[in-house]
Amino acid sequence: MLDSKRHILLTGATGFVGTGIARRIEKDCNFKLRVIVRRNVEFSSETEVIFADSFADDIAIPNVLKHVDVLIHSAARVHVMKDDASDPLAEYRKANVESTLKLAKMAANAGVRRFIFISSIKVNGEATTDGQKYTAGDKPAPVDAYGISKMEAEQGLLEIASKTNMDVVIIRPVLVYGPGVKANFHNMMRWLNKQIPLPFGAIHNQRSILSLDNLVDLVIVCIDHPNASNQIFLASDGLDISTSELLKGISKSLNKPSLLIPIPEGIIIFLASLVGRASFATRLCGSLQVDISKTQNLLNWTPPVKTGDALKNTAEHYLKNISS
């Protein structure tokens, strides 16, 4: 007999964002969770785990989609600083566009009601200036291959929605952080915990950031909310801070003094370019702000976790697992 709970299918369940979504559904929500994974990861005993190497399996995937009410697609070829692929755009399109759209078409054919797509603020662009914030209605202006692939996937999904009974919800997060975060955010915590002096004491930019808990909460809201249908939502904590303020907040959460040296932005970017890190330095020094008023008003949603609390949780997790 089919479980009376509604069925949610989650892709990318072993990734940083996907893991957060899976844990929240397992813990708090009245849904039956089904996940597609490529490797063995421990989930709740009630979660149905299905192993698949590709979303393009014309035999296996339609069976996986049976009885699914909502599909949350967080799997992707993620953005990397140094992509060694000979044709990065082709690789991103293969994973983020072709696979996504094929999965969406199979989902629509299987009767899935809603397809929630975790996109990226990179669809809007790389930076904002003069206090101007990105909005969900802006004309897309992606710069790199990853952003282009996410834009093309969004466009294809909305076209599928216009021709089928399946609606689409697109969420564009900014930088996501939280317990277990990797890459540059993890590196910043490591540097600050080791009390390495950093040259970011005079950065007066403004950046929107997003805790994993807030992103997951928004995804959960979008599962059922009628106003989410065929909409694009930007997501952040709702608080914009400078890089200097962010580093000070992380240091405080680590119980360490912040050793930030006030060096002019231009010098930082120049020195970083000498070691091949100009793009990273530019992001740290530049602004990227988003306007989440549409998300808040249309969904009656407010980010439930404050940035300070989220930073504290992130730092505490890092300290507990620092030797691992």
The Cα–Cα gap between 105 and 156 comes to 10
The Cα–Cα gap between 117 and 150 comes to 10
Task: Quote the distance between the C-alpha of residue 13 and its chain's center.
Answer: 13
Q: What string of DSSP letters covers 128-185?
A: B-TT--B-TTSPP---SHHHHHHHHHHHHHHHHHHHSS-EEEEEEE-EEE-TT--HHH
The Cα–Cα gap between 229 and 178 comes to 28
C-beta separation of 167 from 161 below 8 A = yes
C-beta separation of 258 from 192 below 8 A = yes
Question: CA gyration radius for the chain?
Answer: 20
The Cα–Cα gap between 37 and 8 comes to 14
| List of residues 6+ apart from 227 with CB closer than 8 A | 298, 299
| List of residues 6+ apart from 162 with CB closer than 8 A | none
Cα→Cα distances 280→261, 285, 307, Å:
18, 9, 22
The Cα–Cα gap between 309 and 37 comes to 31
Q: What positions carry a catalytic annotation?
A: 146
